[in-house]
């Protein structure tokens, strides 16, 4: 099957999914001998647009895993703003070394329901947004080699297609409930309402945190105030060069400590074709 264009589409708060989708989409375009376009749907304004695809196009669509599924506040945009119209798609999730549980199954189901034909899928490890102690430095060069290999194998599969393929088979259950985060005591850690705090002695009011918040939750005139919905994505924490932002919610910190204790052993990427 001929492909006219590869398009990498990603929602990525701390950069892992962006890096992963960019690598795979560019390698795929090279292997297919066609142009590559990238669409960042992380900022609220960018997510509001509808992206229409056409037969003959190949979309590489990426999302992080949040609580074992797609981020629930972003799910409606994945469901309604990406229109496949018979284009092929590669589903990509990243995860922070615990598990991708059901996120890849959910993404592939959303893509199929949105008019795409899923031809391949992959779950790739990236540094956990909550802590540098899980998968620090990933995706690394080894991961990039695996992404390139995945792209090459996907291109070979697409070139060999004579008709639209049936949905790619991936593990997990798209309808499964969210993973319940636990604390170090093994009990559910309830931190839904937690919001980042700001150290006034470090903050220089540069406004970066408010600009990068994918929920538009931080007040641009007073960055210490977070009137909107915080999804704990850590974009503001990671992008503040003065380490002025932090979480102090005890339940959140207990969950992070539990992850560090239980999920430090490096996990592997998994691909499905
Ligand atoms: C709110 C939240 C929930 C997360 N849940 C999971 C999870 O269930 N399993 C896991 O392995 N990693 C989990 N992670 C880690 C992210 O999936 C991982 O860091 C991802 O690569 C971040 O993608 P990004 O850099 O594109 O934002 C979670 C991260 C956040 C912020
Ligand atoms: S990014 Fe950091 S220094 Fe800049 S306004 Fe936000 S908290 Fe302050
Ligand atoms: S305020 Fe919450 S949602 Fe916004 S960037 Fe920070 S952690 Fe993410």
The pLDDT tens digits for 120-152 are 999 999 999 999 999 999 999 999 999 999 999
Distance CA 214, CA 34 (A): 31
Which residue owns the Cα nearest ligand 3 atom 6? 236
Cα 238 to ligand 3 centroid, rounded to whole Å: 10
Residue 173 to residues 104, 105, 108, 177, 225: CA-CA distances in angstroms? 9, 6, 10, 9, 38
CB 270 within 8 A of CB 123: yes
Distance CA 85, CA 185 (A): 48
Q: Is the CB of 98 under 6 A from ligand 1?
A: yes
User: How confident is the model at residue 165, as a pLDDT?
Assistant: 87
CB-based pocket (< 6 A), ligand 3? 196, 213, 215, 217-218, 226, 230-236
Quick check: CB of 70 below 6 Å from ligand 1? no
Residue 157 phi/psi, 5-degree rounding, is -65, -45
Q: Which two tokens stand for residue 11?
A: 């929602």
pLDDT of residue 248: 97
Using the mean position of ligand 2's atoms as its centre, give its distance from the Cα of residue 92 in Å.
31
Distance of CA 88 to the CA centre of its chain: 19
* Ligand 1 atom closest to the CA of 234, numbered from 1: 31
Return the ligand number nearest the Cα of 215.
3
Distance 126 CA to ligand 1 centre (A): 8
pTM score over 0.95: yes
What tokens does 39 get? Answer: 């669409």
CA of 228 to the centre of ligand 3 (A): 9
Interval between CA 75 and ligand 3 midpoint (Å): 17
Q: What local confidence, expressed as pLDDT, does residue 154 receive?
A: 98
166 phi and psi angles, rounded to 5 deg: -75, 165
Range 138-146, long-range pairs (CB < 8 A, 24+ positions): 138/16, 138/97, 139/16, 139/19, 139/20, 139/23, 143/20, 143/269, 144/23, 146/269, 146/271
Q: How far apart are CA 183 and CA 192, in angstroms?
A: 14
Atom of ligand 3 at shortest distance to CA of 245? 6
pLDDT in tens, 244-255: 999 999 999 999
**Greatest CA separation for the chain:** 63
Q: Specify the pLDDT at position 113.
A: 98
Ligand 1 pocket, residue 96 CB under 6 Å: yes
Q: Supply 241's token pair.
A: 């060069």
Model pLDDT, residue 255? 98
Q: Residues of the chain whose pLDDT is less than 50? A: none
236 in Cβ contact with 213 (< 8 Å): yes
**In contact, 174 and 106? CB cutoff 8 Å:** yes
Q: What is the mean pLDDT of the chain?
A: 97
> Which positions ≥6 away from 61 have C-beta within 8 Å?
9, 10, 21, 78, 82, 89, 90, 91, 92, 107, 111, 116
- The pLDDT tens digits for 254-266 are 999 999 999 999 9
Q: Measured between alpha carbons, how far is 224 from 162 in angstroms, rounded to an integer?
A: 56
- The pair of structure tokens assigned to 62 is 């990426």
Q: Is 203 in the pocket of ligand 2 (CB under 6 A)?
A: yes
Nearest CA to ligand 1 atom 2: 66
């Amino acid at each position: 099957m001929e492909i006219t264009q590869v398009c990498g589409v990603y929602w990525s708060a701390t950069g892992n999914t962006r890096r992963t989708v960019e690598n795979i989409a560019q390698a795929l375009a090279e292997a297919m001998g066609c142009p590559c376009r990238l669409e960042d749907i992380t900022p609220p304004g960018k997510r509001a647009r509808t992206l229409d695809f056409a037969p003959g196009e190949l979309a590489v669509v990426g999302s992080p895993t949040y609580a074992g599924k797609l981020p629930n506040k972003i799910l409606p945009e994945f469901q309604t703003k990406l229109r496949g119209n018979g284009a092929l798609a590669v589903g990509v999730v990243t995860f922070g070394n615990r598990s991708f549980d059901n996120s890849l199954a959910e993404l592939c189901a959303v893509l199929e329901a949105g008019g795409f034909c899923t031809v391949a899928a992959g779950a790739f490890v990236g540094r956990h947004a909550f802590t540098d102690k899980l998968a620090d430095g990933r995706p690394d060069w080894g991961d990039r080699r695996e992404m390139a290999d995945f792209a090459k194998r996907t291109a070979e599969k697409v070139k060999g297609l004579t008709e639209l393929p049936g949905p790619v088979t991936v593990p997990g259950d798209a309808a499964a409930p969210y993973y319940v985060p636990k604390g170090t005591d093994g009990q559910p850690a309830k931190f839904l309402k937690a919001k980042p705090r700001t150290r006034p002695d470090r903050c220089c009011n540069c406004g970066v945190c408010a600009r990068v918040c994918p929920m538009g939750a931080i007040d641009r005139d007073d960055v210490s105030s977070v009137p909107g919905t915080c999804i704990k994505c850590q974009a503001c924490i990671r992008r503040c060069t003065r380490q002025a932002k932090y979480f102090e919610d005890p339940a959140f910190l207990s969950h992070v400590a539990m992850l560090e204790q239980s999920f430090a052993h490096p996990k592997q990427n998994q691909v499905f074709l």
